Each structure stands twice: as structure tokens, then as C-alpha cells.
Structure 1
Amino acid sequence: MASSAAQQPSLHNAARPDTRDGPRRGTVLLLAVAVGLCVASNYYAQPLLGTIAGDLGMSSASASLIVTVAQVGYALGLVFLLPLGDLLERRRLVCGLTLATSISLALTAIAPSGALLLVGAALTGLLSVTAQILVPFAADLASPHQRGRIIGTVMTGLVLGMLLARTASGALAIVGGWRTIYVVAALAMLALTAALHRALPQFRGTAASSYPGLVRSTARLLVDEPVLRARAAIGMLAFACFSVLWTSLAFLLSGPGYGWSDGEIGLIGLFGAAGAIAAQLAGRLADRGLTTHTTLVGAVVLLASWGLLLLGAHSLVLLIAGIVLLDLAHQGVHITNQSLIYALRPDARGRITSAYMTCYFAGGAIGSALAGVVHARAGWAGVCALGAVLAVALCLVWAASSVQRARMRELRSVASAAFMGAGLLALIAVVLRLAA
């Protein structure tokens, strides 16, 4: 391991973790691959649930819990694991988590029963938040002028990991059964652990607090940082739009208008690759200080995409165009948000990520829940109307936060704008509940 230390200097000062030239291209690409593999581990099971249920004698309801426990594990990881990045030596933490992920994937691969498989899925979901530790680590390593570009590159790996996980698991299941993907993934994570230990520099967080104090201070950051509040609300609404689409799209494509099979519906997800393009572009624009413009364009495109998606009920071309635009806008806004929040507190990037991503995934969960209710009552047109309302809310949050910054900068009144989106989501849920 001494050779790796000679190749790259250790970084111990959290106040200035970046080097003059930033990380090497190979290190950035390795981080992108690492993020992709970490996040992919949470998606392998989704296309295999029927096969797994048949092999282990699980009911369809029990098999669906594989996805549920993975999501619960991920949520717990966001709250309880991410703050460790501000406290522990970062390379050792990341390598420990990827090694543990390899073990959890191996446990899933050899699981003789549904109960043990659920344990493996929960642990894998918990540990897959390593991806969200690696993203701020990349921001720490980057020099300020290249931070947006590097974050965009790493996030491209995350998008591709989410996109290709289902495709890879389905293909390997055909070759060697559903366990094959978990064996391959466990070996890949083991190799990744060795590569990260060799390539990454050492970096220890300098948070002057105990672990319980760090967890408490994560919520406090939302109170103390107006930009974080506003960007958390914008991210929450953007991911809510994304979840509304992908939760209800299968209903449209399997319905009488299209009548597609499960395999054909799965292929539509490949158009999500547009998000990888947006990640790169948004990161480069953020480096040029154009975050206001990218957020505005993303919000407007997000709103416009729902018009195309509405027309897409009877036109595959327009449906695909709407999907591509929505994915471009969602990823563009998300990368812009990350570029801004990582510039706030270099000593607290782990906790900032925890606060932001918790709000972000809460928006996704709320969007999915609302989409199911709305589709059952109002069909695809209702889903598109819901998506448009969420996009309008995002535009309002952006406008309100921008006006407040221009007038009085860091006033706490920005908080009302930041939580406007959450209020609108809650109002929609209450109205639907009362109307049921």
C-alpha cells in the first residue's frame, strides 16, 4: 500500500481537501464506476422478483418485500451512515462499506430461503448509500473551478448504474439463473474495494462532534443554511416528478393503448440515458457560475415535458420525447443542486448530502404514492396533471428563493419558499384522501 501513497498525496485538511490540479482522470472515472456499482446493487432484484419467488417458494407479496426492505435500508443509510463521512477517515470508510456490500451480495446469492434473502437485500440497501459518500468525496478532491464537471462525471456513473442494473440482472439470469448477478456483483465489489484502496488518497473529516451530535447536526443544517433548504425543496419536487412518471408509465404501456409485454416495457427505460448527458452538461455549466440559468431551464423543460407525455398516450414518438426531456431536466436540476450545496460547508459535506438526499428521496416516495392514487382515479391524464402541478411548484420555489437572494440574501424567510413544495404535496394528498 505504500506505492499508492506515493502515487497520490494524503489529504488530511478538510478545510482545503482539493489539490491544485484536482484528481487524475483515472481516479474520477474509477469514482464514477464505483458510484454506478454501488447504486446498481439496489436494483438487481427488480426484474427478477417472479423468478426469485418461484425458486424460493415465496408469494408475490413476500417477493415484493425485497424491494421494500432495500428501500428502507437505503433510507436508514442516508440518515445514519452518511454523517460518518465527516467524522472518519474517508478512504477507510468507503473501502469498509464496499467490502461489506460484497459480503451482503454474496449472502443474497447463497440465500436458501426468502427470510435470509430479505436480510441480504436490507443490508445491501443500507450499504448502497456508499454512492452518496463517494459523490461528496469527489467534490472534496476537486478544485473549485472543476467541481461541477467532476460531480457531473461521477453522477453519470450513478445514472448508468441505475439504468443498466436491471438490464444486466435480466441478461445474466437467462445465462445462469437469478443468483448469477449477485455472484458477479459480489466479485465486482471485492475488486472495487482493492481498486479504491489503491487509488484514493486518505482524507479525514474534521467534524468536532461525536457521532450522535453529527446526526443531530444534520437536521440543524437545514435550519442554518438557506441555500440547502431551497435546493432540498427543489430536488424533492424534481424527484417527485421523476417518480410520478416511472411509477405510472408501466400502467400506460401495458394498457389497451399500447399493450406491451413486460420485456418491451423494460426497454423504455433505456431512454433514461438522457440523464447521463444532462449530468455532464449541468456540471460544466455550474463551473461557469450559470446555476441560476440551468435551474430555470430545467424547471421550464420539466413542466413542458408533461405536455408531451399527455399527448404521448396516443403517440409513441411524443411519449419518448417527453421521457427524454423529463430525464434531462431532472438530472440537470439535481446536478446543479449538488454543485451549489457542496460549496456551502466543506467540513460538513457528508451531513449536507444526508440532509439533501433524505429530502430528495422523500419527494420520490411521495411522488410514487400520489401517482398510484391519481392513476387509479383519473388515469394517465390525471398523472400528467399531477406532474405538471409538481413542476409548477418547483418553478415557484426557484422563483421565490431567487427573489429572496437578490433582495436580502440570507434571510430565514427563504424557508417558506423552500417548504412550499412540501406543503403543496401534502395538500394534494389531503384532497385526494377526502375525495376517496
Structure 2
Amino acid sequence: MARPRLEPGEIGAIQIRTLASGRVQATAKMRDEIGELRRLKSIGGTEDEARTGLAKQAEDIRYRTVGPVLALDATIAQACEVFVYEKEQSQTVEDTTMESYRSTIRHVVNPACGNLPLKDLSVLRCNRILQSIREQKSLSAARRARSVLSQVCQTGIEHEVLTANPIRDARRLPLPEKKESVLNPAQVMVVQSLIHDWRKDGDGYGPRPNVAVLEHVMWIMIGTSARIGEVLGLRRCDVDVTSRPATVLIAGTIKQSKANGLYRKNTPKRSRQKRRVALPSFSAAAIRRQLATADRDPEAFLFSTKTGRPLSVSNYERLLRTFVDDNAEGLRRAGIDPTEFSTHIFRRTTATIIDAAAGITLASRLLGHANEQVTRSNYVVTAEMVDPVTADIMDDAFTAMLGTAGSSLGSDLL
């Protein structure tokens, strides 16, 4: 009778024999995870050592063919390691995203539940874990943990440790509070005036910063609603100030990671968000002034350091925070909340103006969003006053009826 065929990952019968030297040899056959038959051999001082060596060989073969495999009793920390390994091997996730995953696992997930066996992660435990993270750290940390844990549970399903993803049935965490600060055109002009006067006369704050960069980036962001990284990633070849109207191609963004340092990613945040935007006159003027100082190379950045490297997002945001700190009182007098003044306020301003004038579809397209709901939920600030045209519409619908002769309601109201 033929021996039963070994299943992928299965080790056959182990043969043990003692060698002339007195050491013990263990041999066996194994079918790896892709179906190929492998021969295993291990020698040790004792039978236990030989068997242990054989098991180690089998584990190494599994790792080389399919990577690490989760055991049924694997902890969440071990599952996180496998999740990170598989994401890295897929080469579909940006290095900055991988750094965010690792940071969330190291500082949030593992301290909260790393020792818990993955198979014991129930919906109830998910709710308690996420609530604990929210209370002890922050809502943002809890939301990041939920995202990572959901993907880790999916890894558990693929490795047949879980049959369902308990995170998906856990209670939803509240959304972060929506930022409502936007600038009206008059407030933008106040900001420009404050930038022009900032440390102009050496008023004891230190050397005068590069106010031209601060102002030009502001006008380009307001005119295009591009992200700060997308603006800093603009090169001479991306702008055309000879056409009418002038245009800019948003086709890259500045990124920074531990692995690769500061670099330009040759797509926006998402590759599908590549777009060419017509520039209002004030943005075109800002770009022309910046072009006058930029290197003549077509690949040269509009905003760069003295060595030609791109200006980093963190450096620009640090410059903006310093401006806000120095001019907090002036911003308050203009009705601007300094605590909400960041690069996002320029993007929200443009989105709100475009939505009010031309609708959410055009605003979403300008911002580079694939989903209009993202634009509405995060960027467009709805005016408190509903368009008065609603009163005219309702009057037109009911005036004839209320004015009908014999209508007591009509005679009372009209």
C-alpha cells in the first residue's frame, strides 16, 4: 500500500540512527509550501538535539518559500511581525507608511495587547483595547491602532489562525473634530501684510527669515489648493507661465523617511491625483518671482536650499509656526485663530471658496480627491446661513394656495 502523500508544510516520518561516532542522526522528507519534496538531515549529540535541528531546517524552508508562518498560539506581537514582513515583501507600501506602521506597533499596539494570543482577540476585547488606548494616549492613537490591528487580523485569517476579523465588528471610534478655520480674502491680505512686516526692522527676535518663501508658498497653495509637499516638489519643468492662463503640473511631492532621507516622490500623494491646474494671477506672479531665483536647470526645484536640495515640509512648517508665534496677536485682531493656522488652512480656504461658487465636484477635483465625500468632510466649511433662495422657492410653491379666496389660513397669513 502506497504511503499517503505529504501535504504542503508537512514533515514525514523521522528516521533516527546512531552514527559510529556516537552522535545521533535524524532524517526525514518534507513537502514545502509550494509542493516540492525536500530531504532533511540533522545530527546532534542526542536524539532531542537531532530532532530539534530537523525542525529548525523545516522552519527555515517554510520561511524561504512563504516567509514566516503564524502558529495557532501566536501572539498579537508575533502577528504584527508577520504583517510587517509581508508588507515589506509586497513592495507596494511607501517607506513613510511602513515607518508609521512600525511606530504604531511599537508604541501603541504592543504595549496595549502584544502578549494576547491573536486567536483570543474577540470583538469585546477589541472594544476594551481601543477604549483603553483612547483614554491613556489619544483618539488619534486609537484610530491608528484600529487600522493596524484590522490589517493584522486579516493576516491572521490568511494564516488560518482566525476565521473572521473582530476589528470590523468593533465599535466605531469617533471622527476627529473637523477643523472649521478658513480665511476670507481680507484676512489673507492681513496675513500677507504681517509677513511683509515680520522682523523687518530687526526688532530683537533674531535674523529675518525668508519671508519671500513663506509668502510665495502661501499664494501658490491658495491658488491651487495643492498640499504643502506638492508645492515644495514643483520644478521649473512643471510650470508654464507663458500660456494664458499660466498652469502648473502637480505630479510629485516631497517626502522624508529614515530609510531614504529627503526625496521627491514622482507622483502626488496618490498616483491618480496627478493634475494640471490653471493659475490665478496672484499664484502665477508668485511662481514668476520664485523662478527668478531658481536654478536654470529644468529639473531644479522652485523652492530649494543653497545646495539645490528641495526644501523639506518640516522646515517650511517650522518657518510658518515661528511666524504664527511672533504674530499671534495680529492674527487674533484679524479674527484668525493662531492655534488653527497651518498649511491646511490655505487648502480649506480654497476648497470652501470653490465649493460655494462652483460646487463640490470642482472643489474635489482641484484638491485631487477621488471621493467628493473626503472633500466635504475634511476641507469644505459649510456657511452658517443657508442660501436665502430657499425662501423664494417655498413662497412660489405656496403663495397661490394661501392666496386662494375662501382660505381662512390664506387670509390670516397674507
Normalised by the length of structure 2, the TM-score is 0.22
**Between Structure 1 and Structure 2, which shows a larger proportion of helix residues?**
1
Name the TM-score, length of structure 1 as normaliser.
0.21
Which has the larger share of strand? 2
Higher relative contact order (CA 8 A, sep 6+): 1
**Quick check: which has more Rg, 1 or 2?**
2
